[in-house]
Structure 1
Amino acid sequence: MSSTASPAPAAPYAELQRQLEQLATGAHRPELGEIDRLDTLRIAELMNAEDRSVPEAVAAQLPAIAAAIDGVAARMARGGRLIYAGAGTAGRMGVLDASECPPTFNSAPGQVVGLIAGGASAMVTAVEGAEDSRELAAADLDALGLTGNDTVVGISASGRTPYAVAAVDLARARGALTVGLSCNAGSALAAAAEHGIEVVVGPELLTGSTRLKAGTAQKLVLNMISTITMIRLGKTYGNLMVDVRASNEKLRARCRRIVALATGAEGAVIEDALAATGGEVKNAILVVLGQVDAPTAARLLAEHHGRLRDALLDAA
């Protein structure tokens, strides 16, 4: 007589399944068992309602996020790098955030780095077993020549991904600052890091699909880490992105608008300042507001490590 009961998972998967069943992000929601029979608008409403809970979960971790950012900014001010390490969706979030820093803040190449288990090809194709490899994490960090001034942010929705946990373990052993970003409480990743950030978003709309609320939460936190760190490093003047580099017509127009907003100067004055400084927004603002010439503006900014407010005080 045949049985309809589900067979017990075979070793070595029994323990892994038990662990996954205990994760909030992987919990099954029986009340959504008929979701595939709903009309599209209703599914969209349900998904939108789920997403609204994510900012609240992030808000609960703001003190931990702020403490981590202060640590990151202090290391980067000494020449360190911000390094994200994760697998799958979490790794892609890190690579995305890192790739957006140079065009947004004119950060130096390699100043913000995204590591994804399995390498660049894992951005679009799953690499078998990469997320389970602690050795791969060690090799990726070795290739970067990790130093004590660097920060490694391990990213994992579950908080247990071996690649992310190993990256944090190794970085901490080498004196780098470590941050563990996960979406489950009591995670191994947070425990391994000096700064644990656990944004508990709860069960997903689709069981196990951590590219949803968990992915959104990771994106929001990484936005904060990179953006506020760059603010702390003087990459902005107020809320103006003054470290933007004009590499196309759209950005050239944006540069002129930023100088106008910062100085209130007339068009001809702005054009002259940008021409004299080779299109460098910070330098142009300093030329106008500090009433100095372009070489002096460049010298003052260099002396103050690119911090426009400090350079303006010196020019006064």
Structure 2
Amino acid sequence: MQTESPSLYNDLDKMATSEILFNMNQEDAKVHLAVAKALNEITLLVDGAVERMKKGGRIFYIGAGTSGRLGILDASEIPPTYGVRDKVIGIIAGGDHAIRNAVENAEDDFDQAWVDLQAYDINENDILVGIAASGRTPYVIGGVRKAKEEGLLTACVVCNSNAKLIPEVEIPIVAEVGPEFVTGSTRMKSGTAQKLVLNMISTAAMIRLGHVKGNKMVDMQLSNEKLVDRGTRMIMDEVSSISYEEAQKLLLQEGSVRKAVDFFNKQK
């Protein structure tokens, strides 16, 4: 497997800091090229996901270790960014405790992912994306296999072209980034590639579902002063005749940029 192949660099422990960083940067430059090769598959997944989400479906990510944490990270950023809850959900082998701590043998349980998914009343309108750099994690393979049998749309994000996960899903997304700078440390290039792919999946889906107008996050949560200021300026961009103070008052009154602009336009 590429993810377990020896690093292209030797004697890392004898390198100067500047040499370590330069070589890491050289390897990182390969990541976006690997992701670019998977754009057709990512497109298929987003289009299929949007179709199901319009019927009430949700995107679920499952993974172990770094892969599981990346899924949870992507999912956790959807509510504040787009103002929707429980539309993108991340699940990690070993449960929430595994977000910060390694849980021994959690990823080796072939049946546990489907058990974990039952807590969400999962159904055929949902989408399951298995994330595994190696593409051989039993927790993930078992989950997507059962989900496919139950009629869910299934996909995977892997970094090996011969991954065992690939034949288990309808849409395999492969970002083959090559050997890691530190041999086998898939938190590096593989993790970066997975993060880029998940960004694409969730962001494109939210745009297609109408949570972006123009280039603005019109449904974002107003959870701090920075976001209130951003939202206020968004309203001013949409309504040229309004002052900053009026826009902010309207934003806080209505709770989102979209609602504030709609309210203003109805009053005209």
- Whether these two folds match at TM > 0.5 is yes
CA contact (8 A) 2:112 2:143 kept: no
Partner of 2:150: 174
CA contact (8 A) 2:110 2:138 kept: yes
Task: Give the one of 19, 29, 32 matched to 1:52.
Answer: 29
Partner of 2:3: 25
With 263-272 and 162-171 compared, the bigger mean Cα shift is at: 263-272
Q: State the distance in 2 between where 1:49 and 1:247 align.
A: 38
Higher relative contact order (CA 8 A, sep 6+): 2
CA contact (8 A) 1:146 1:171 kept: no
Q: State the distance in 1 between where 2:83 and 2:119 align.
A: 24
Instruction: Within 5 Å, give how 1:13-162 maps onto structure 2.
Output: 23-29=1-7, 31-108=8-85, 110-162=86-138
Residues 57-101 of structure 1: CA distance to partner in whole angstroms, max 9, x if unpaired?
A: 000111111111111111111111110000010000001101111
Partner of 1:201: 177
Report the residue type matching 2:169 in the other structure. Answer: A
Partner of 2:251: 274
CA contact (8 A) 1:65 1:225 kept: yes
CA contact (8 A) 2:58 2:89 kept: yes
Q: Give the gaps of 5 or more residues in structure 1.
A: 1-22, 295-316
CA contact (8 A) 1:54 1:217 kept: yes
User: 1:167/1:265 Cα in 2 relative to 1: closer, same or farther (>3 Å)?
Assistant: farther
Q: For 2:128, what is the secondary structure of its paired residue?
A: strand
Cα offset, 1:271, TM superposition: 4.5
Structure 1 runs of 4+ aligned residues shifted over 3 Å read 271-275
Aligned-residue CA RMSD (Å): 1.6
Q: State the distance in 2 between where 1:136 and 1:264 align.
A: 54
User: 1:115/1:272 Cα in 2 relative to 1: closer, same or farther (>3 Å)?
Assistant: closer
Report the residue type matching 1:27 in the other structure. Answer: S
Cα offset, 1:273, TM superposition: 4.1
TM (norm. structure 1) is 0.81
Q: Give the gaps of 5 or more residues in structure 2.
A: none
Q: For 1:188, what is the secondary structure of its paired residue?
A: coil
With 219-228 and 172-181 compared, the bigger mean Cα shift is at: 172-181
User: 1:271/1:211 Cα in 2 relative to 1: closer, same or farther (>3 Å)?
Assistant: closer
Cα offset, 1:183, TM superposition: 0.4
Q: State the distance in 1 between where 2:119 and 2:246 align.
A: 48
With 53-62 and 240-249 compared, the bigger mean Cα shift is at: 240-249
Q: State the distance in 1 between where 2:249 and 2:115 align.
A: 50
CA contact (8 A) 2:79 2:221 kept: no
Cα offset, 1:218, TM superposition: 0.3
Partner of 2:206: 230
Q: State the distance in 1 between where 2:115 and 2:190 align.
A: 27
TM (norm. structure 2) is 0.95
User: 1:271/1:212 Cα in 2 relative to 1: closer, same or farther (>3 Å)?
Assistant: closer
Q: For 2:53, what is the secondary structure of its paired residue?
A: helix
What percent of counterpart residues are identical? 45
Cα offset, 1:235, TM superposition: 0.4
Q: State the distance in 2 between where 1:65 and 1:217 align.
A: 13
Report the residue type matching 2:160 in the other structure. Answer: N
Q: For 1:211, what is the secondary structure of its paired residue?
A: coil
Cα offset, 1:257, TM superposition: 1.1
Number of residue equivalences: 267
User: 1:252/1:159 Cα in 2 relative to 1: closer, same or farther (>3 Å)?
Assistant: same
Q: State the distance in 1 between where 2:132 and 2:92 align.
A: 11
Q: State the distance in 2 between where 1:208 and 1:175 align.
A: 34
